[in-house]
Structure 1
Amino acid sequence: MKKILALALAAALALSLAACGGATSAPASTPASQPASAPASTPASEPAKADLTFGYIAYDMSDIWNEYSARAFEYAAEQNGVKTVVLDSKNSLEESITAMESLIQQGVDGISIFPISTEQGAQLVKMANEAGIPVTVENFAMDGLEDPGDYIASVACEYDKIGEAAIKWIAEQKEGAKIFFCAGQEGAGVYEKYQEGVDRALAELGDKVEIVSTLHADWLTDKAYNVTTDLISSGTEFDYIFANNDMMAQGCYQALKDAGKEAPIVSTGGSPDGYQMLQDGIEAANMTAPVSIQGVKTFLNLYGKVAEGKDPAEKFTALPVIPVAAGDTSSYIAWDDYAAAYEYLSKG
């Protein structure tokens, strides 16, 4: 019956899932080389207070953002002596229901879900509630739903804060900067959140910076190349580019290069490819939001409740926005540097 309900809901659920700096319309990137600096020290393992097993329901492990978050969850579990069962929904509503049913049957002590949407997430939460299993959520803020079910906490990226940080960073570098905003795809809600942050920063900064053009490249490298080329041909003057993700930043850079022009490019997310572009001088800065922190924080929310009986201090935690400039990448936390993410949260 639950599978039938899930399929009936499929048409009504919009897939708003997108990694910081990316979206479902953009293909996953191949991880590039990581920082050459020594990795953060691994925290000493401490025995769990009980022999615990946690389940993890992934949205789609072929998605680079979800994969790194799941691995971070597993890493944090290892540090605390907790066993994990990771199940992949493969972007299927029916498979997510099957995964939840499987974890319930296995009698796991807690479950973390990376939903396809908030509505589908609430459905999984309520299934865990019925089974009496504590559940936590990542990648979505669930408080916008009328009835999200009883979940421990959620942790997710807030795109508006990233957009705001990008514009403020540019203003700090060049007062009066004329910015071309190479934006993501309209309609799915991700670009719109970025725009909220951009507008908030502009209102606060006044005439210190100006957006001279906003063109949508839909998260794609080739379309970013085309819209940037068209803007250059139009004669519109700009001296900074805010690219909504690293793939679009690559397209903007190539268009500038082919036109014999230069303009610093600021991107978002802090993916492995983004880090490499900082190293190669393609990006001037990246407003990073390390997904490794999301995975570790999700585990800590679940572990604190199950093993220690503690609720998180906050029902919702936003991923930190960490600006990283090409000239100093010391604050960069790689998506696969789970030890650094664990240490970052331990310090907090």
Structure 2
Amino acid sequence: MKGSKLRLGLGLHMAALMMAGGVLLHAPTAEAKFIAVSVSAEDNFRNILSSHIEAAVDARNDQVYIDSAEDDFDLQLQQVKNYIAAGADAIIIFATGTTEKNRQLFEFAKQVPLVFINTEPVEDMSTMPANTVYVGSNELESGTLEMEELARLANYKGNVALLQGDPTHKAAVLRTKDVEDVVAKYPNMKIVVKETGHWARNEAYKIVSDWLKKGTSFDILAANNDEMAIGSIMAMRDSGKDPKKFLVGGVDATRDALLEMSKGDLAVTVLQDAENQGKDAVDIAYKLINRQKVKNPHWVPFRLVTKENYRQLIKE
């Protein structure tokens, strides 16, 4: 049987559609496994990550079901309950709640393995119970790699503009702190403006357009992700500015970001390895299903991407 992905936009109705008379529709064979995925919300990076999870399950000829929780913890909680009722062998979760709320999900680890991915579910992952693992990349590396390279390219001087992702997202908090800590090391560098763009290209576009309209002076723009970096570059172009006159950095090394790098408009990005995060999350889910011991957390390293090595990623 070829593995298959099921998608549904209305998570609360998932159980009714997946089950009829107590039987799972499109159910895997007795030998196959069923991996369910609850994505916190859809965006470019999480969609890429989901596609790699799907591919890793498909490679095993098993079944995967992926649904968005639409940034609603109550909906995610209901999805997990429905997945268990539908017979999921393991659940991969992009956590959307606070630490306190996410702890409610841990109770389900008594019934089914839970693999958390992309967003750390709790501050102290040593408190996660048995049958749960976090898969991600250590955010202490991401913003640090980005800003250190931007600083080097700027000869360790200049005004820095900073775009933060969702301020409730731990990755945004840590990436922002990484940038601030690097800038603080160098006497001839300073952060002159900082705003929250919520990871979004269109929000970054509006923010940077406003900065340029007001005449805010900056040489370097460090964004918490590539989508905001791209929005910034678009704003520069539409404001009559040459992006090449700035040093722009992001995180994720998405295809769109690599395209901007090929044009010479994006100076730096950092690969958050979606392919290996997705693959490793699935591998760990199967290990937990088979009651194998797995170290928690499981880190997938970040990689610095510049004009010297970006072509390698395009080939990959």
- TM-score, scaled to structure 1: 0.68
Is 1:306 the equivalent of 2:306? no
Instruction: Look up the SS of the partner of 1:153 in the other structure.
Output: strand
Q: Which runs of 5+ in 1 are unaligned?
A: 1-49, 335-339, 341-348
Instruction: Look up the SS of the partner of 2:96 in the other structure.
Output: coil
Selected match of 2:81 from 101, 109, 112: 101
Q: Which residue of 2 aligns with 1:78?
A: 58
The one-character-per-residue Cα deviations of 1:302-341 (angstroms, maximum 9, x if unpaired) are 112223x3222x301334222211343134379xxxxx6x
Is 1:144 the equivalent of 2:144? no
Distance of aligned partners of 1:177 and 1:332 in 2 relative to their CA distance in 1, 3 Å threshold? farther
Runs of 4+ in 1 over 6 A off after TM superposition: none
Q: What amino acid does structure 1 have at the position aligned with 2:81?
A: E
Q: Which residue of 2 aligns with 1:215?
A: 194
Q: Which runs of 5+ in 2 are unaligned?
A: 1-29
Contact 1:245/1:268 (8 A) holds in 2: yes
Contact 2:118/2:135 (8 A) holds in 1: yes
Instruction: Look up the SS of the partner of 1:320 in the other structure.
Output: coil
Report matched runs for 1:14-25 at 5 Å.
Answer: none
Q: What amino acid does structure 1 have at the position aligned with 2:307?
A: A
Aligned residues with identical type, % of pairs: 15
Is 1:290 the equivalent of 2:273? yes
Is 1:198 the equivalent of 2:179? yes
Cα distance between partner residues in 2 of 1:127 and 1:174 = 50
Instruction: Look up the SS of the partner of 1:176 in the other structure.
Output: coil
Q: Which residue of 1 aligns with 2:208?
A: 224
Contact 1:181/1:213 (8 A) holds in 2: yes
Instruction: Look up the SS of the partner of 2:251 in the other structure.
Output: strand
RMSD over aligned Cα atoms: 3.0
Shift of 1:174: 3.7
Bigger mean CA deviation after superposition, 213-222 or 292-301: 213-222
Cα distance between partner residues in 1 of 2:38 and 2:94 = 5
Q: Which residue of 1 aligns with 2:310?
A: 329
Instruction: Look up the SS of the partner of 2:265 in the other structure.
Output: coil
Contact 1:286/1:324 (8 A) holds in 2: yes
Q: What amino acid does structure 2 have at the position aligned with 1:111?
A: I
Shift of 1:114: 1.9
Report matched runs for 1:5-44 at 5 Å.
Answer: none
Instruction: Look up the SS of the partner of 1:265 in the other structure.
Output: strand
Selected match of 1:122 from 88, 91, 103: 103
Q: What amino acid does structure 1 have at the position aligned with 2:144?
A: E
Q: What amino acid does structure 2 have at the position aligned with 1:290?
A: D
Distance of aligned partners of 1:333 and 1:149 in 2 relative to their CA distance in 1, 3 Å threshold? farther
Is 1:243 the equivalent of 2:232? no
Q: Which residue of 1 aligns with 2:20?
A: none
Q: What amino acid does structure 2 have at the position aligned with 1:135?
A: L
Shift of 1:165: 0.8
Shift of 1:120: 3.8
Number of corresponding residues = 276
Shift of 1:157: 4.1
Is 1:161 the equivalent of 2:144? no
Cα distance between partner residues in 1 of 2:84 and 2:196 = 43
